[in-house]
Amino acid sequence: MGIDVLQLPGSWIFLPSSVEFFVSADGINFNLINTIYPSETDEMRPDGLVMLSKAVENLHTHYIRIKATNIGICPPALPCAGQKAWLFVSEVEIE
């Protein structure tokens, strides 16, 4: 299970600080099953997309909730420093 996120610092778009995956049988009570902390070593495709995923074995559920947390503000070393950062998710992958 995973998500494709966009990294385009020139457009103020950054990887999330974390991505959490939750599951639920009833759609009300969710349990955290995985957390991903993106890093600069994650493989970025030429279009700026990065797939953040973790394998999940033998998962039986009805509902999945994904929470991607924005970094908040642009990093200090960039022209956009101190401005609000954007977070873009282009695809959710569930196998």
Sheet with strand 18-24: strands edge to edge: 31-36, 18-24, 63-69
Using CA atoms, how far residue 83 sits from 7, 31, 56, 68, 72, in Å, is: 16, 33, 36, 19, 8
Contact present, 50 and 88 (Cβ < 8 Å)? no
pLDDT of residue 44: 86
Residues in the chain where the model's pLDDT stays below 70: 40
Local structure of 86: helix, strand or coil: strand
What's this model's pTM, rounded to 2 decimal places? 0.86
pLDDT of residue 68: 95
Beta pairing, strands 18-24 & 89-93: unpaired
pLDDT of residue 95: 79
pLDDT of residue 17: 95
